[in-house]
Structure 1
């Protein structure tokens, strides 16, 4: 424990109380991600929004150019007669009423649930199971679709959903500590651009407050937002 605390303190001392250029921040976050496992790299973006107002809520999706480095299990809920063999190439689980029964039993062996619109009424009763875990399909998340094949391809390529929490902060995984600097930078800029392009209509004045990047066990580093533009 003493070694761990010393390592954490040493890494904190490497971070100065100032804004970092995007490339400098990525280099430093990788340097301080020195745990004995591959750490995740996340961003935490504070916005000047109040999500209790409908015109200041932020929820969207984007495809991270270099993915997240995390493999996610995808389940597809679709009418049995509409199942196609090619879906099996990308989906980990495909089902109809049998999948609904499995979910009812609490069998949630997936990270993403994609459903066709006609199956949504059957899922309504499972909101109490899927909702708290963030697994309920929705159009905003891109998980309610009539084009299963395209949607599967997008999520396999690194499509992620993000939303601002009740305090107006977006938390998002952008990769792993073993990513190259250029790959992390590409994902970082993609996230900034997506959040900027999805600015809620109710936001007046300054939109971005702060933009931090950190690893699982590392210190938080504040970016100079102007270097992301």
Structure 2
């Protein structure tokens, strides 16, 4: 059995594993236990009572976090014609067409988000096996297949994130950094949780949120009471 570090043991002693915390209380505790020597993320892990194998039980959406993620995203735009200049003027980091598609097909992935205009999707489609597993494939549902590239770029730069249930019915996201004020982390977390609640599929039966944890990048998970969290979100 691996021996736990002194730091980990000290953190674990501060988190009551038998307790269900409220959102605000959990964020305050996160600030206390995020003690690594770098700017740790606040990670969110929510298990849902859905069966992702069924199309009518997919949970997916996009939100703009009011205080961003703390990460500056390198945005690539696939477009042609006048949309190239529009993308450049809006602050895209990389803009191109078939030349970039060819470059990506060889394994180049020096970007964090991809936006494509609808007329490029026929060519972009062949990148599905490369971009899909990395969560980078443009899609209309995520707002990354659009002719309104300027707004899409601005939203991503401002902190737009996508949430999506994985094959094990869990949503994994990050909503900020240790360096954020607790109130800003709390507000970001509320926005994400509210969106997940609103995205409940009509076909989902029984308990929707089965478990809800937040955690620093290198630390102990803090278990949140989903019912109490729902009330905190409703008060906003």
Shorter-chain TM range is over 0.9
SS of 1:83's equivalent in the other structure is helix
Shift of 1:117: 0.5
Q: Partners in 2 of 1:173 and 1:216 — Cα distance?
A: 9
Query: Aligned residue for 2:209?
Result: 208
Matched, 1:8 2:8: yes
Shift of 1:101: 2.2
Q: Is the 8 A contact 2:79 2:120 kept in 1?
A: yes
Q: 1:82-161 alignment to 2 at 5 Å? A: 82-84=83-85, 87-161=88-162
Any unmatched runs of 5+ in structure 2? 232-236
How many residues align structurally? 228
Cα RMSD of the aligned pairs, angstroms, is 1.7
Shift of 1:129: 2.1
Change over 3 Å in CA distance of 1:3–1:206 after alignment to 2: closer
With the length of structure 1 as denominator, give the TM-score of the two structures: 0.94
Q: Partners in 2 of 1:81 and 1:22 — Cα distance?
A: 46
Any unmatched runs of 5+ in structure 1? none
SS of 1:90's equivalent in the other structure is coil
Shift of 1:60: 1.0
Q: Partners in 2 of 1:91 and 1:162 — Cα distance?
A: 22
What do residues 155-195 of structure 1 show as CA deviations (whole Å, max 9, x unaligned)?
Answer: 11111011111121111001111111100000111011100
What do residues 196-229 of structure 1 show as CA deviations (whole Å, max 9, x unaligned)?
Answer: 1111121123211111110011100011223333
Q: Partners in 2 of 1:82 and 1:40 — Cα distance?
A: 34
Q: Is the 8 A contact 2:79 2:95 kept in 1?
A: yes
Q: Is the 8 A contact 1:51 1:166 kept in 2?
A: yes
Q: Partners in 1 of 2:71 and 2:20 — Cα distance?
A: 29
What do residues 46-76 of structure 1 show as CA deviations (whole Å, max 9, x unaligned)?
Answer: 1111101111111111111111101110000
Most deviating of 107-116 and 129-138: 129-138
Q: Is the 8 A contact 2:53 2:167 kept in 1?
A: yes
Most deviating of 122-131 and 2-11: 2-11
Q: Is the 8 A contact 2:51 2:57 kept in 1?
A: yes
Shift of 1:85: 5.1
Q: Is the 8 A contact 2:116 2:138 kept in 1?
A: yes
Shift of 1:151: 0.7
SS of 1:84's equivalent in the other structure is helix
Q: Partners in 2 of 1:156 and 1:60 — Cα distance?
A: 17
With the length of structure 2 as denominator, give the TM-score of the two structures: 0.91
Q: Is the 8 A contact 1:48 1:206 kept in 2?
A: yes
Shift of 1:38: 1.0
SS of 2:61's equivalent in the other structure is strand
Change over 3 Å in CA distance of 1:111–1:121 after alignment to 2: same
Q: Partners in 2 of 1:195 and 1:118 — Cα distance?
A: 31
